[in-house]
Amino acid sequence: MPSPCLFCEIIAGRLPGQIVYQDDLVTAFCDRFPRAPVHILIVPNRHIDSVSMLCAEDEMVIGRLILTARQLAVKTKIDQTGYRLVINTGPDAGQSVHHLHLHLLGGKSMPLMGG
């Protein structure tokens, strides 16, 4: 039997998490190992392993992830200087928890990515 999903347990309130937003589709909580002064994870309440597992019916939840990130950027005042949104998909991209999650990062200057 697979072990319970860490993020599902936080969403359900069975594990502690510093929840900063929750509605019927998504939950947002502070990352336990922040990479920036503001590092919030925004996750769908329904378990979805990764972007690779999305289907057409998930369109609303994906939109909610992005709009929630924008709302939290305003709330934390990082919208004024800029922020980064990151979704890692699969082990080569660094996805360590197999529950789709969007990283909202900001509050400091970050190096450019790619080219």
Query: pLDDT digits over 28-79, tens only?
Result: 999 999 999 999 999 999 999 999 999 999 999 999 999 999 999 999 999 9
CA torsion angle for 17, 23, 27, 30 (degrees, to 10)?
-60
**pTM > 0.95:** no
State the burial class of residue 75 (Cβ atoms within 10 Å of its Cβ: 0-12, 13-18, 19+): middle
Give yes or no for residue 115 having a pLDDT over 60.
no
CB 104 within 8 A of CB 85: yes
Return the CATH fold of 6-106. Answer: HIT family, subunit A (3.30.428)
Domain range summary for the chain, segments of one domain joined by +: 6-106
CB 26 within 8 A of CB 104: no
pLDDT of residue 2: 57
98, 99, 101, 103: the active-site residue: 101
Mark whether 101 is an active-site residue: yes
